[in-house]
Chains A and B, each alone.
Chain A
Amino acid sequence: DIVMTQSPDSLAVSLGERATINCKSSQSILYSSNNKNYLAWYQQKPGHPPKLLFYWASTRKSGVPDRFSGSGSGTDFTLTISSLQAEDVAVYYCQQYYSTPGRTFGQGTKVEIK
């Protein structure tokens, strides 16, 4: 299975400041025939199911604020919150869907307010 490793495990950021979460896959999840990275990002708040933020690494799901951005290719990916808001406190997960079966999630990154 492809292993997804996120860093850091947690971070505390001041309101209005930038938050950056990294996700690294154990092998490339870029499919050469369509040049798409098979990676999604989710946000999960306590007591709620995850919510999809991005798919194909950088395609923002409708309704997701544009302070969120997804980037990267191959094995290295980043989720950036450009100006952290109180409602962004959550755990964020990356997930690869290049390998089916055996789709895997990262371990999660907890974002808190400093």
Chain B
Amino acid sequence: QVQLVESGGGLVKPGGSLRLSCAASGFTFSDYYMSWIRQAPGKGLEWVSYISGSSNTIYHADSVKGRFTISRDNAKNSLYLQMNSLRAEDTAVYYCARDQWEIHDWGQGTLVTVSS
């Protein structure tokens, strides 16, 4: 079955950087768009970034544009999110998701905390 396992979260100071990874299995990774969706503590869901199977189409929400970069390695069945210039408001659980417009499959999430 489909498995998405995120890693790379943790505590980082404002202005710092972090790279999230998502290991995918159970489906043909290169056939699917993939997304990062985040949820601040006690808050709702926010679409952060998505990337097409071939990496030709990439989207970043305005809130992270210029600071975050989504990428993928289809040979490794892996999705990444490079997060730079982190702010307190980026504190959230970051979910990796298999994107079929609606999201059928989610990872368990990795917590990113931005605090001094």
Contacts and interface: CB of A to CB of B under 8 A. Distances in A.
Contact of B102 (A48, A55, A106): A55
A103 B107 contact: no
Chain A interface bracket (under 10, 10 to 19, 20 to 34, 35 or more): 20 to 34
Given A49-B95, A49-B109, A50-B106, A105 B101 contact: no
Interface in A31-74: 38, 40, 42, 48-52, 55, 61
Interface of B: 44-47, 50, 59, 61, 95, 101-104, 106-109
A105 B44 contact: yes
Given A101-B50, A101-B59, A49 B106 contact: yes
Nearest to A56: B102
Nearest to A50: B106
Interface of A: 38, 40, 42, 48-52, 55, 61, 93, 95, 97, 100-108
Binding site of A, secondary structure by majority: helix, strand, loop or mixed? loop
20 contacts: A40-B103, A42-B103, A48-B108, A49-B95, A49-B108, A49-B109, A50-B45, A50-B106, A51-B106, A52-B104, A55-B102, A61-B104, A95-B102, A95-B103, A97-B101, A100-B101, A102-B47, A105-B46, A105-B47, A106-B44
